[in-house]
Structure 1
Amino acid sequence: MRPLTDGSELLVGRDDELSRLAAWIREAVQGRGRAVLVDGEPGIGKSALVRASVAVAEEAGCQVFWGAGDELGQALPLLPLLDALRIAPVTRDPRRDAIAELLGGEAVAGKGADLAAAAAEQLIALVDELCQAGPAVLVVDELQWADRTTVAVWARIARSVRRLPLLLVGVLRPVPRRDDLRSLFRVVPPAERLRLGRLAEPAALELVAELAGGRPGTRLEELAAGAAGNPLYLTELLDALSRSSCVEVDPAGVAELTGTATPDSLPEAIADRLGFLSEAARTVLRAAALLGDGFSVADLVTVTNSSLADLMPALDEARAAGVLVAAGDDLAFRHTLIRRALYDEMPTAVRIAWHQSAAWALAEARAPVERVARQLLPMVSTTDSRVPVPAWAVKWLLDVATPLIGQAPVAAVALLRRAVRDAPLDDAVTGALACRLADAYYRVGNVAQAERIACRALDRVRDPDVVVDLHTTVVQCHGMTGRSAESLATLNEALEQPGLEARHRARLLVLIARTHRDLGEVDTAGRVATAALAELGAVEDRWATGWALHVLSLVAMMRGDWTGALPLFERAMVIVRGDPALIDLTLLLRINQSVTFGALDRYTDALAAAGRARELADRTGSAVRLNQVQSALGQLLLGAGRWDDALAEVDVVPDERKDPSVVCCDHGVAAIIHFHRGETAAALKHLEIAEPYSERIGDRVVEPLVRARCLAFEHAGVPEQALSVLTDVLTGEDAGEDLLGDAARLATAIGDRGTAAEIEARARAIADGSTVPHRLALALYCRGLLEQDPTALLRAADGYRDAGRPLSRAKALEAAAFAFASAEAEDRGPARAAFTHAVDLYAELDAQWDVARLRAQFRVFGIRRGPTAKHRQATHGWDSLTPTEGKIAALVVEGLSNPQIGGRLYLSPRTVGTHVSHILTKLGVNSRIDIAREAGRNQTASG
């Protein structure tokens, strides 16, 4: 008889599945990754199969990472991946440190920071970095119990796994099957799914023979048949028989059943195993069961209030009995069903009391927030609503509310909701709890409930600090639902409350100013923000001062006073620097500063400021601001002519995680580029995607989207409608300068001199007294178009060159060429020279639509030019790579990781990853190693 007391598992009847996994591991070693799903009923041998393949991977030199979901941890994001990648509170790896700090609440993060989203981004980057170090296998077992964030990250890695030397494995049961889990089966093709069925009779008997130490006799065969081919049941059944000495092997090697008392079910077989343990061991194991399928021995020491020496006899006994197995530096139950049996045998009231005691012990030991919350959650999920939140837990919740909401808002809602219910109605603590609960509801997207709780709390809260926080939440809710105007009456009423200090009045004025700005009431926003600063006088309040200066900088930007906005940014950043509560404002200031630098044609400064903002957003967990800075980068790269990089930035973040205005902006940028490149279907697809988001932002002008819509009509051959798109939005002082040039061009083309003259006057007024190159160029461009003055147009082209705006320069040269050609002069030289320069600029941008349009237009003047140098005519192969993709491919060949490449080219690692994916697709290869091979072949072929 061979009892499996060491936690090992026999693998029988799974040769085909193991061979497929081994083949996929070999491909990962060669750089061709893939994602695999293994599913089947509990005990069917999924984990055993994958563990056997992991042994193959380790022999092949792969790094192996293994984590598992469990039922108790579903409300706490990313635990299986954190476990797999060994993210601990104290680590030495910078990326792991950043993740540990985010989820431990130690990172500098402002209110509203989405810590789980930030950690997810860091985890994806960490996986990428680990794969640069060598081939890897990443397993998430019990995926059906994983939280939604873990499932989403698994899916994101699965979508990009082809470019990594990674075998990504998800192991799950058929039920429960949530919608997000079902979506994984759309991500993973059928050929890469392994569904394990019950063992066929020959394999089941082979397993019994291995376990019993001999060929099963008749009675043992009959008993094994009752296990229905489930390997776990067979293993537990044979182990139970072994413990009872009910199996004997005769001299002929036949194993036969000698007793009559046999387990009737798998739970009974497991209970039989546990029944052989001493009561001391069972007590320790019950405490371990509270911690999950896998657990830290240090945590077990904490919750049992015992020393490690006192626990070791029980742990050794449990390991000898096959209940516990080693899991790296920690321990785990050999199977989740064993832990479940121990957990369920405790009465509910006793179990809740144990959880509370464990939570208190972990909190006193300053354990990470998620470990304490995990012990408190069963208390609020029980059907017995009489279980109160202990007083210590209420205090703990108030202390950790911000990181808990950032990391696990769903868990925060559950705990804070019960704490609010149990706190005394007249207690000031209730108001603070309600304030945090409203914030948590806002974070999970339940805006209506967040608003209700915040408004109800405002009726009874008297603490001015909490009142301002509650008003902030209400203002955010109104903004999300398009009801910003409703906030004004409430805020103005709050200003009239007696006993307010200057800093509280200033904070309320700042909220009022921000609301007016959101409503487009620029002058009023500026006046109220100035009043907020005056209210403070000599009183120091960094929050109110910083936000008031931020509103004033926005007002300056909306008025086109970009030069005046810069000192406001500098002044505000001095105020907020180093304040953890003002991280969100710091990010806004840096993002808007980068936009302002771009508007002043200081592209180097703009990209540097955007890079700093992106790094800070990534590090501190502000997913919203990260999306905004990516969008700002896309616009800057569009203006600077780095179109391939701009397109890559658009693809970095999924639309559902962006603000509607950001979605409109990003797809507008992409559509502009595709229209100019003659890729009309792709451009129209981007406009189609943006349309529902555009409806959600109302009358707000998103310049890239307006420009894209204008181009759509130009492509359709209706320039009058294209001009109408522009003139409809060219009202008010915040209308964009970039739209004026296109409006002047279209008005001139259709002979609408009245509109052209109005635009020229407006451009002249903008340039008056300005030293910004593109503003001066705009005035010259509009005048040159109106007067058909080629000299003015050439000067405009020079101005756009100085501004670093190649598309605008090409348009000015095109207009100059047309003006020269239309002058009926015998010398076509100036027209031909301007035409040639314009074509070259369009070709460098790969603006093939403009190249074709320009050539057709100038044939009537007898101006022709032979084909330009071949510019990405190919759609596949090395010649199809863009200049940026060529640079990245060369750095891949050097062996640089995505973060290292990003550092060289001033791109984010995610953007580099997008480029690498495009390179793999164009080359028709699967891995970075293949890119190096293709590079070698290309060099050989070219000589």
Structure 2
Amino acid sequence: MPEAGGLIGRDGELRVLTDMVDAVEDEGSAIVVMGDPGIGKTSLLRAAAAHGKNAGAAVLSVVGVEAEAHLPFAGLHQLLRPVLAETDRLPTPQRDALHAAFGMRPSDAAEGAPEPFMIALATLNALTDVASQKPLLIVVDDVQWLDLPTQDVLGFVARRIGSDPCVLIGVVRAGHDIAFAASDLPQLNVGRLTEQDARELLDRNTADLGYADRERILREAAGNPLALTELPLALRSASRLAAEYGEQPPHSLPLTARLERAFAARLGDLPPLCQDALLVAAVDDADDLREIIAGATILAGQEAHVAVLEAAVTAGLVRFDNLYAHFRHPLVRAAVISKESVARKQAAHAALAEVLTDEPYRRVWHRAQSIGGQDDEVADEMERAHAIPLRRGSVSEVIWALERSAELTTDSATRGRRLMLAAEHAFGLGRADLVDQLLERAGRTSLTRLDQVRMQWLGEIFHDGVPGDADHIRTLCEAAQEAIDAGDSALALNLLQAAGLRCWWADTGPEARALVCEVARRVDRPRGDAQLTAIFSIADPLGEYQTVADSLAGVRLESITDPAALWLYGMAAAATADPVRSVDLLGRAEIMLRQQGRLGLLSQVLTMSVSDSMEIGDWEHAWAASEEGRRLAADTGQAIWDAGSQAGYAMLLALRGDHGRSLEIAAEVERSAAGKKLSNLLACGQLARGFAYLSAGRPADAYHALRRLFDQDDPAFHVHERFHAVSFLAEAAVHAGLAGEVHEVIADLESEAVTVRSPILVRQLTYARAVLASDDEAEEAFLAALSADLTRWPWLRARLELAFGQWLRRQRRVAEARRPLHSAQLTFDLIGARSWAESTRVELRAAGGRGQAATGKANGLSSLTAQELQIARLAAEGLSNKEIGERLYLSHRTVGSHLYRIFPKLDVSTRAQLAAVVGPQDPVAGA
């Protein structure tokens, strides 16, 4: 078989990579190269890098090293080092976040830890800026051994370079379950060589071997290129192999272990001082020759120089790169470590700790690794040092530091406190599995009572989507009371919020709801506190409606600078069915969270805003928010919010006329929710079904789907979500000839509305009253409904106008019917309600009017994807490509590429024309 770039048997694999590089001017791309150790992944990566350089691309590279995996952003710093000067041109928040991650910003200037996604966005923009000057190839070897923050950043970048002249190739060793490899990026699996290719490679390196030895090597190598190269070298060291294995390496060992032993066999021939230097290099978390030699001097107790490593270079185990020493293959490092005793490895760590006097975190890290038992002095130093990676935004390293500190601690209560602190950071990172592990360990220590309460909250928070019975709610409330008694209001509120969420996601009964609110009133927080208000709203949105409404009435939107407070107030407004206030609060929170790079909370804000944006007719925002909310929830590992976004997406698809897809997604949401008995999501699934059936002209099916939300014995019953269904239930009942069956439901809701003046409930009841009224009372009911202030409710107003026009036409008042029908059609077209728009055109034609085709604007906007629509709206507001990229976590080149596609879809050629088509304010208010 012909060779590919000097490689034997890798033509197909290399072609995949070189084709990506050759197409970089047309589209960016990323790929994960997977394979066993020694299978040739690194050789492929080098060949692709050489091809990129020859093609004129800039090449940036980084190699993961297991010993460096604990250093936050060490890999990212290595990758960006050649272009670090470019980062000075980044927007200030991004530049500061990136420099803080690299320790380039003084610690006293850091205002808390930088947001990980702000660091990721800064990296994306820095790389795409480089790519704007010449195509960029990013090659990443051994991703599995990069520090976790760097892995997360690379995954973020890889998913967002499709519109940039940038290619990212990441190599991952098979068997490592990391997020980068488990993402939706394409994969290239590198398998073993064919027998013919294996023989050719063996011939190239070992023509002097006899037939029996060659066959034995071919059999043991099993098509692995590294084995085909290294096993012959090991075989030549016959005396050492005999000492190590006897006749031959044991067949029971896996190939990787045999390769490690083959390398280890060559280590024994090296001088003792060289072996000391290799051991220090193997446990070092950097490849700095000066560190290695200084550490070797301390370990050996005699002066060492760079020359001591020459024997390892000659043996093909190490290579020099200026002032750095690199192992030829990760298995060499593994062989060095595996052959040494625990005492020798600890001594090497201790030697490095002595060397690293100017780097406090690395120093204490190596001190901690040099200890086999417990040491309170080092444990205390380790806990203090965890602030260093925290300032750099590496929460995963903070968790490790606190875990190690706990392991070194003699006092049980202190050990438990440190594990609890690690668990809180794991919660912030979204790692439910790690939280559970840490809590299980903390539970075996002598925790203080308050720490036991805190552990209860942490154990609860990741399972708030699973409804407990009333007893569980009571347990949480008792824990909150203990926190109140201990003076820890923050912990009490967190516990009560967890209890409230259980009441929200599933019906836990009136007593449980009342108990949450009763304990919440005992918390020492001022009236109108954001978290307290949110707790009342989600625990008991009906019973505490007035409490929440009074708190929200005192909120001054422009005075709130904390996006978390805006989120909580927005949650309260959404829970009490006040969509106008909710959208305003969440919209302001969205802007701030984007600026701060807090994508985990942003995904929740976007998800909550979807249904309320639909309610008030802003379907463009709802469409964009549902798409981005789903993407960010997946990025940040928030499964329940991902499901919530899917439910909102299904409802929106139904209203826009995509019935089939809506029903498919609704079924997926229901399957997910049914197992956990999440009545909130089950209700949303029924809403999507009802909307889809109505849109498809199946009113009877719509009625039966929506009716479930009002049956307290039905799993889909939900006190809040049913408010969104009121007008649609009435509409479906009228068109299905079932109006008589719905009067009792409406009467019950009218009674509720006496005390619960929820804007959605009040306005939807005006629609239901009008369409269900007798002919003698209908006109008065319609006129009363239409005379209300519906400025922010164009969707409901248009449906009222359609229903009024239909009634007028049935009364043979066709001339009068045309005006409301014309107005309704305009609004339906503008917001994208296709089925309702078509129904209105039919009514108009029946009334002697002309049912106009959808406006060019409506047709054009409907052709945009959710992300294109989001970009178009921001561009219409006057934002530059760079500013849009900062808002949406995209590179400015990606934004430009989207706009290049958007302009012809909307038949515009300038941003001024774009503003006229998708301006931030649509003329539906006066429709």
Whether TM exceeds 0.5 here: the answer is yes
Q: 1:822 aligns with which of 810, 826, 832?
A: 810
Q: Root-mean-square deviation (CA), in Å? A: 5.9
Check the 8 A contact 2:298/2:351 in 1, yes or no.
Answer: no
Pair 1:628 & 2:613 matched:
no
Query: Which digits, 9 at most, give the CA deviation of each residue in 1:348-369, with x for residues without a partner?
Result: 331134335646876972336x
Match of 2:186?
188
Q: 1:47 aligns with which of 21, 36, 42?
A: 42
Query: Which digits, 9 at most, give the CA deviation of each residue in 1:157-197, with x for residues without a partner?
Result: 66665444232223345x5465978857x85366x968766
What letter corresponds to residue 430 of structure 1 in structure 2? R
Match of 1:532?
523
Pair 1:295 & 2:287 matched:
yes
Check the 8 A contact 2:670/2:685 in 1, yes or no.
Answer: no
Check the 8 A contact 1:14/1:49 in 2, yes or no.
Answer: no
TM-score scaled to structure 2, two decimals? 0.72
- After superposition, the Cα gap between the structure-2 partners of 1:142 and 1:313, relative to the gap in structure 1 and judged at 3 Å, is same
Match of 1:670?
649
Match of 1:709?
689
- After superposition, the Cα gap between the structure-2 partners of 1:97 and 1:590, relative to the gap in structure 1 and judged at 3 Å, is farther
Pair 1:909 & 2:889 matched:
yes
Query: Which digits, 9 at most, give the CA deviation of each residue in 1:915-934, with x for residues without a partner?
Result: 97xx9xxxxxxx77985998
Structure 1 distance, partners of 2:703, 2:867, is 37
Pair 1:31 & 2:14 matched:
no
1:598-677 to structure 2, matched below 5 A, reads 599-601=579-581, 603=583, 606-616=586-596, 618-619=597-598, 623=600, 625-638=601-614, 639=616, 640-642=618-620, 643-653=622-632, 655=634, 659=638, 661-677=640-656
- After superposition, the Cα gap between the structure-2 partners of 1:693 and 1:22, relative to the gap in structure 1 and judged at 3 Å, is closer
Structure 1 distance, partners of 2:708, 2:594, is 33
SS in 1 for 2:668: helix
What letter corresponds to residue 649 of structure 2 in structure 1? A
Match of 2:346?
352
1:1-80 to structure 2, matched below 5 A, reads 11=6, 13=8, 16=11, 20=15, 23-38=18-33, 42-43=37-38, 45-72=40-67, 80=75
Match of 1:806?
794
Match of 2:136?
136
Check the 8 A contact 1:295/1:331 in 2, yes or no.
Answer: yes
* Post-superposition offset of 1:808: 1.9
SS in 2 for 1:29: coil
Pair 1:517 & 2:500 matched:
yes
Check the 8 A contact 2:541/2:576 in 1, yes or no.
Answer: yes
Structure 2 distance, partners of 1:740, 1:79, is 56
Query: Which digits, 9 at most, give the CA deviation of each residue in 1:324-348, with x for residues without a partner?
Result: 5466985532332333343334223
Structure 1 distance, partners of 2:650, 2:725, is 16
Structure 2 distance, partners of 1:236, 1:153, is 35
* Post-superposition offset of 1:853: 3.7
Structure 2 distance, partners of 1:492, 1:673, is 37
* Post-superposition offset of 1:660: 5.5
What letter corresponds to residue 288 of structure 1 in structure 2? A
1:352-391 to structure 2, matched below 5 A, reads 352-355=346-349, 358=352, 365-367=359-361, 387-391=372-376
Check the 8 A contact 1:57/1:137 in 2, yes or no.
Answer: yes
Structure 2 distance, partners of 1:783, 1:347, is 83
* Post-superposition offset of 1:685: 1.9
- After superposition, the Cα gap between the structure-2 partners of 1:795 and 1:868, relative to the gap in structure 1 and judged at 3 Å, is farther
- After superposition, the Cα gap between the structure-2 partners of 1:684 and 1:807, relative to the gap in structure 1 and judged at 3 Å, is same
Structure 2 distance, partners of 1:668, 1:526, is 28
Structure 1 distance, partners of 2:870, 2:484, is 58
Structure 1 distance, partners of 2:524, 2:879, is 50
1:420-439 to structure 2, matched below 5 A, reads 423-424=409-410, 428-436=413-421, 439=424
* Post-superposition offset of 1:267: 6.8
* Post-superposition offset of 1:848: 2.2
SS in 1 for 2:661: helix
Structure 2 distance, partners of 1:552, 1:400, is 40
- After superposition, the Cα gap between the structure-2 partners of 1:649 and 1:801, relative to the gap in structure 1 and judged at 3 Å, is farther
Q: How many residues align?
A: 844
Check the 8 A contact 2:606/2:629 in 1, yes or no.
Answer: yes
* Post-superposition offset of 1:669: 1.4
SS in 1 for 2:170: strand
Check the 8 A contact 1:63/1:136 in 2, yes or no.
Answer: yes
Structure 2 distance, partners of 1:486, 1:780, is 40
* Post-superposition offset of 1:10: 9.6
* Post-superposition offset of 1:687: 0.8
Structure 1 distance, partners of 2:211, 2:556, is 82
Check the 8 A contact 2:575/2:720 in 1, yes or no.
Answer: no
Q: 2:724 aligns with which of 738, 745, 770?
A: 738
Structure 1 distance, partners of 2:171, 2:191, is 9
SS in 1 for 2:522: helix
1:872-911 to structure 2, matched below 5 A, reads 880-881=863-864, 885=868, 888=871, 900-902=883-885, 908-909=888-889
* Post-superposition offset of 1:451: 5.7
Structure 2 distance, partners of 1:767, 1:373, is 59
What letter corresponds to residue 832 of structure 2 in structure 1? D
* Post-superposition offset of 1:546: 7.1
Structure 1 distance, partners of 2:906, 2:798, is 37
Query: Which digits, 9 at most, give the CA deviation of each residue in 1:356-406, with x for residues without a partner?
Result: 5646876972336xx966885797xxxxxxx31432342244335688799
- After superposition, the Cα gap between the structure-2 partners of 1:279 and 1:661, relative to the gap in structure 1 and judged at 3 Å, is closer
- After superposition, the Cα gap between the structure-2 partners of 1:850 and 1:299, relative to the gap in structure 1 and judged at 3 Å, is farther
- After superposition, the Cα gap between the structure-2 partners of 1:865 and 1:100, relative to the gap in structure 1 and judged at 3 Å, is same
Structure 1 distance, partners of 2:426, 2:487, is 25
Pair 1:285 & 2:285 matched:
no
Match of 2:169?
169
SS in 2 for 1:835: helix
- After superposition, the Cα gap between the structure-2 partners of 1:40 and 1:422, relative to the gap in structure 1 and judged at 3 Å, is closer
Check the 8 A contact 1:66/1:140 in 2, yes or no.
Answer: yes
SS in 2 for 1:720: helix
Check the 8 A contact 1:434/1:454 in 2, yes or no.
Answer: yes
Range 693-702 or range 593-602, more displaced: 593-602
What letter corresponds to residue 339 of structure 1 in structure 2? R
Pair 1:851 & 2:837 matched:
yes
Higher relative contact order structure (alpha carbons within 8 Å, sequence separation ≥ 6): 1
* Post-superposition offset of 1:765: 3.8
Match of 2:916?
none
Query: Which digits, 9 at most, give the CA deviation of each residue in 1:62-120, with x for residues without a partner?
Result: 3323223344466888765564345999975554652564698977669xx9x778866
What letter corresponds to residue 801 of structure 2 in structure 1? L
Structure 1 distance, partners of 2:280, 2:522, is 59
Match of 1:211?
none
Match of 1:260?
none
* Post-superposition offset of 1:900: 3.0
Check the 8 A contact 1:667/1:705 in 2, yes or no.
Answer: no
- After superposition, the Cα gap between the structure-2 partners of 1:707 and 1:97, relative to the gap in structure 1 and judged at 3 Å, is same
Structure 2 distance, partners of 1:276, 1:418, is 36
Range 48-57 or range 69-78, more displaced: 69-78
Check the 8 A contact 1:73/1:79 in 2, yes or no.
Answer: yes
- After superposition, the Cα gap between the structure-2 partners of 1:832 and 1:422, relative to the gap in structure 1 and judged at 3 Å, is same
Structure 2 distance, partners of 1:506, 1:838, is 51
Check the 8 A contact 1:88/1:100 in 2, yes or no.
Answer: no
SS in 2 for 1:865: coil
Match of 1:476?
461
- After superposition, the Cα gap between the structure-2 partners of 1:884 and 1:180, relative to the gap in structure 1 and judged at 3 Å, is closer
* Post-superposition offset of 1:628: 1.0
- After superposition, the Cα gap between the structure-2 partners of 1:377 and 1:928, relative to the gap in structure 1 and judged at 3 Å, is farther
TM-score scaled to structure 1, two decimals? 0.71
